Structure 1
Amino acid sequence: MKIGVFDKYSTLLLPIILAIADYCTIALAVLLAYTLRKNGIPMSVHPQFEIKDIYIFFIVPTFFLLVLFLCNTYRLNLPYWDKVRNIFKSVVYGGAAVIFLMYFTYVAGGVSRLFIGISLVFILFGILIVRYIVERILITIGLFQIPVIIIGAGKTAELLLQSFERNPIMRYHIVGFIDDKPVCPHLTKRYPLLGTFADMDAVIEKTNVQHVIICAPGLAPNKLVSLVTKLELLVKNVSFVPELIGIPAANISVQGLMEESMVLVKVQNNLARRYYRVMKRIFDLVVTLLSLVIFLPVGLIIAALIYITDPGPVLFAHRRVGQHGKEFPCYKFRSMIVNSQEYLEKYLAENPEAREEWERDFKLKDDPRITKIGHFLRKTSLDELPQLINVLKGEMSLVGPRPIVQAEVEKYGEYIQDFYLVPPGITGVWQVSGRSDTTYEERVQMDSWYVHNWSVWIDIVYLIRTVMVVLERKGAY
């Protein structure tokens, strides 16, 4: 299978296309912000506010394009959410540079701070939206993807493909696999098995692929080194998955010790440091207080509907285990009938299969206690809105481990200390990774992964992904 000419030069041509799209977006964003500030908003502060065309169409876009380049936003193999983070940083840095230019070189008679603020907002969302549209169109028509061969067709390769497919923009075009004995036959049903390790040279020459990913962590270290060394002479880009699956990966740095031919890997658990826990708390408070503008009226409407359709308490407080193992009342809108606990005990006594499900997952997929409006609230996750009160009280976080009951503590085993480190979250990794469709053991590992990999950006990403999952109504019950 010979790759196309456009795919062959995708690493060169696609960044140019994205840069052109970014230029048009930035220039249009600044022009729209200027027009809005000039004509749409009264200018009592800066009535003489003027900006020359050269700044709108050349100087400002050039500044931003340079910063976008320096922040690695044109790296095609960068994960989608990392690229979004870098674009956000680029807009902040570029905005600071433009402000410095305007204030200290007097390119504008009276610089409007509102104009600058509107421009930055337009640039940020403009770049994100336009890039997404451009890349989705190119992927749909099959242009400028990165051809890649994966060496190894086992569980590691399967996990790698899952990671690629979770990205909103899937840049890699899987040409096929190379393996002597594929462990996961369904992978070779989706993509061709190009040959064995002995055929590697011929396969690369035939396909002309320049990107290879080694997914064979079971290889002996000397064989892996030999394979990487050989591939570096055949292709331009070689990546490999080391036998470190499960290690905290979000806060990792790698240092090459050249003379010793060694790699020094540094990992860091941010939430083990008080400074970062304080930062997380500040983030929770700011976002929660801002969101109350929208969610407070919605909550009042929901409370009224609950009381009208099924008179009784509007809120339900369930005892949950929180930070440092302390219990707290976790608030939710009542989505079940009154006296639901007594009904549950009777129902489980009469239904052994339901009891087995409850003892395994502490949930029932078809819970007979849920009211009609309760089904809607759970499906949309609106029943969890009152947990914003828990966040303000410091008992919960916006993003964090799943809040558990005391009976679940022993199920966490050695992972319980990770859980105790931070407040549980309204949302978290498990909610956006299958939610109730995941196994209990997977949820525990997801909670541990979150604690060891936390950053403010990860919280932002999972808040966005939670909204997407809720809109899709995936896995909730």
Structure 2
Amino acid sequence: MKQAIPLLQRNTTYLLPLCLFIVDYLMVSLGIVGAFHTRKLWMFPEVSSTFHIRSIYMYLIAPALFLLMLFLTNCYQIAIPYWDRVRNVFKGITYSIILTVFLMYAANVAGDVSRLFILFSWIITFLTVLFGRYILERILIATGVLKIPVIIIGAGKTAQLLLRSFERHPIMRYEIVGFIDDKPICKDLTEQYSLLGGFCDIDEIIASSKIQHVIVCAPGLPAKDLITLINRLEILVKNVSFVPELIGMPAANVSVQGLMEENMLLVNVKNNLARPYYRVMKRIFDMVLTLCGMVVFLPIGIIIAAIIYITDPGPILFAHQRVGQHGKLFPCYKFRSMVVNAEEALKEYLKDNPEAQEEWNRDFKLKNDPRITKIGHFLRKTSLDELPQLLNVLKGEMSLVGPRPIVKAEIEKYGEYIQDFYLVPPGITGVWQVSGRSDTTYDERVQMDSWYVHNWSVWIDIVYLVKTVTAVLMRKGAY
């Protein structure tokens, strides 16, 4: 490689955290000042005049504590997925609030400590920090500056998966300079990016380009050769990452421990949902959110029920037998979106349409289902037909997030993955609903359900609830 990477790009790992640091300071200060005025002037003008916050607290002490906690919760690591960064920011802001509450009481920086001020500080600061970082990231993406130049060693299927991840999370800030491989398998990679050379050219390529980030995507290499390659790269560059031959292993709950004297790595894999403590935590999470959501969704449900009855007289709810936790059957509630004699209509339609029969046998769904009523089309597109499943959640038969509820005929399609499905209650929403929804293949849905069970955490549930709202608003893949 003849041309070296520009100095600005080579220093991205220092400049980008510095930019984030400056933006975080401004947003934290804005959040604290906003919380103060919200508490004192706007919503609650009757607050006692004794409530005040010293300027040095709002513009120096508190921001310093917030920035310290954001640093300690890894908020300035660049190459991590978006939702992991959001989680780290949430943890950092939460820990900062705990520390600042202690400071306000211990150091008496406030004339009168207000619990509402603390609450507003937590909410507003979290939102302002996320907003500030989002704007910075959009600017950086639009201008194309401060990207981390990286060379990938290996141009095979693993590298393809890695690039797919980078495309979903472009703000990971990697710019692919090129690939190094003796025999590249995926020609589309070398057509899109430069093939810089083979394994024997590594030293020369890195020296001429001054690249400091290398990712090894060659899990097919013998273990001895891979270790030799990594040891060799550690001398040449500052940062070396590699993809081990463990694709498919649960990734969300994995920790790595180095056994130094033995020169070994011990990989710990934890399935949270196999532990009663976490299942109780998930149940509490479901109940709290469902009861809060009922305040909003109950009036909407009453209106929908009235429209259904007026436009197509008959039962308002439809209860279909589905397979739940431990393989037990339960009535899965939905607003009726089909004609009253739906089963008879389906049999007649499939009898007269062989292509529809094939689609039904494959997916247990029809894109153009003649049984759906006019209001039913709207309910399905917006997923409002699933609102009554909140009753299933309250009864403990379903969860807000989980594997999709299936019918008995689908059990054999799950094969060895059915035990994963039986471990938890099915969910109103889940991974497949926000990953193309009905546009995904059946095998992909099964894999997604298994992935969720093995990688579950409360944070993953929060992420997929947020993603579900986005998918519903975009009406992506629903029918």
TM bin (shorter chain)? over 0.9
**Of 148, 155, 163, which aligns to 2:165?**
163
The residue that corresponds to 1:10 in the other structure is 12
The residue that corresponds to 1:24 in the other structure is 26
Q: Kindly tell me: are residues 97 and 448 of structure 1, through their superposed partners in 2, closer, same or farther at Cα, counting changes over 3 Å?
A: same
User: 3-state DSSP class of the match of 2:15?
Assistant: helix
Check whether the contact 2:38–2:44 (CA below 8 A) recurs between aligned residues: no
Amino acid in structure 2 at the alignment position of 1:209: I
**Of 176, 185, 188, which aligns to 2:187?**
185
Check whether the contact 1:391–1:398 (CA below 8 A) recurs between aligned residues: yes
The residue that corresponds to 1:317 in the other structure is 319
1:56: Cα distance to partner?
Answer: 0.7
Pair 1:404-2:410 in alignment: no
**Of 346, 355, 375, which aligns to 2:377?**
375
Deviation digits for residues 95-116 of structure 1 (CA, Å, limit 9, x no counterpart): 0000000012211121111111
The residue that corresponds to 1:427 in the other structure is 429
Check whether the contact 2:80–2:172 (CA below 8 A) recurs between aligned residues: no
- Cα RMSD (Å) of the superposition? 1.5
Deviation digits for residues 418-459 of structure 1 (CA, Å, limit 9, x no counterpart): 111100001111112222222211211111111111110111
Check whether the contact 2:40–2:47 (CA below 8 A) recurs between aligned residues: no
Q: Kindly tell me: are residues 137 and 464 of structure 1, through their superposed partners in 2, closer, same or farther at Cα, counting changes over 3 Å?
A: same
Pair 1:415-2:417 in alignment: yes
Check whether the contact 2:321–2:330 (CA below 8 A) recurs between aligned residues: yes
The residue that corresponds to 1:300 in the other structure is 302
- Across the two proteins, how many residue pairs are aligned to each other? 477
**Equivalent residues in 2 for 1:254-333, closer than 5 Å:** 254-333=256-335
Check whether the contact 1:29–1:119 (CA below 8 A) recurs between aligned residues: yes
1:306: Cα distance to partner?
Answer: 2.2
Instruction: Tell me the distance in 2 between the aligned counterparts of 1:78 and 1:231.
Output: 22
User: 3-state DSSP class of the match of 2:404?
Assistant: coil
1:472: Cα distance to partner?
Answer: 2.2
The residue that corresponds to 2:445 in the other structure is 443
The residue that corresponds to 1:233 in the other structure is 235
1:208: Cα distance to partner?
Answer: 2.1
Check whether the contact 1:7–1:143 (CA below 8 A) recurs between aligned residues: yes
The residue that corresponds to 1:128 in the other structure is 130
The residue that corresponds to 1:467 in the other structure is 469
Q: Kindly tell me: are residues 442 and 41 of structure 1, through their superposed partners in 2, closer, same or farther at Cα, counting changes over 3 Å?
A: closer
Check whether the contact 1:46–1:111 (CA below 8 A) recurs between aligned residues: no
**Equivalent residues in 2 for 1:34-113, closer than 5 Å:** 34-42=36-44, 46-113=48-115
User: 3-state DSSP class of the match of 2:268?
Assistant: strand
Deviation digits for residues 325-383 of structure 1 (CA, Å, limit 9, x no counterpart): 11111111222222111111111111111111111111112222222222222222221
Check whether the contact 1:80–1:168 (CA below 8 A) recurs between aligned residues: no
Instruction: Tell me the distance in 1 between the aligned counterparts of 2:423 and 2:414.
Output: 13
The residue that corresponds to 1:222 in the other structure is 224
Instruction: Tell me the distance in 2 between the aligned counterparts of 1:42 and 1:228.
Output: 61
Instruction: Tell me the distance in 2 between the aligned counterparts of 1:176 and 1:471.
Output: 38
Q: Kindly tell me: are residues 187 and 296 of structure 1, through their superposed partners in 2, closer, same or farther at Cα, counting changes over 3 Å?
A: farther
1:252: Cα distance to partner?
Answer: 0.8
Instruction: Tell me the distance in 2 between the aligned counterparts of 1:349 and 1:274.
Output: 48
Instruction: Tell me the distance in 2 between the aligned counterparts of 1:341 and 1:330.
Output: 17
1:220: Cα distance to partner?
Answer: 0.7
User: 3-state DSSP class of the match of 1:217?
Assistant: coil
Identity %: 68
Instruction: Tell me the distance in 2 between the aligned counterparts of 1:472 and 1:4.
Output: 40
TM-score normalised over the length of structure 2: 0.96
Amino acid in structure 2 at the alignment position of 1:379: K
TM-score normalised over the length of structure 1: 0.97
Once structures 1 and 2 are overlaid, which stretch shifts more, 11-20 or 192-201?
192-201
Q: Kindly tell me: are residues 2 and 312 of structure 1, through their superposed partners in 2, closer, same or farther at Cα, counting changes over 3 Å?
A: farther
Instruction: Tell me the distance in 2 between the aligned counterparts of 1:372 and 1:137.
Output: 44
1:168: Cα distance to partner?
Answer: 6.5
Instruction: Tell me the distance in 2 between the aligned counterparts of 1:423 and 1:369.
Output: 29
Check whether the contact 1:132–1:169 (CA below 8 A) recurs between aligned residues: no
Once structures 1 and 2 are overlaid, which stretch shifts more, 59-68 or 409-418?
409-418
**Equivalent residues in 2 for 1:331-350, closer than 5 Å:** 331-350=333-352
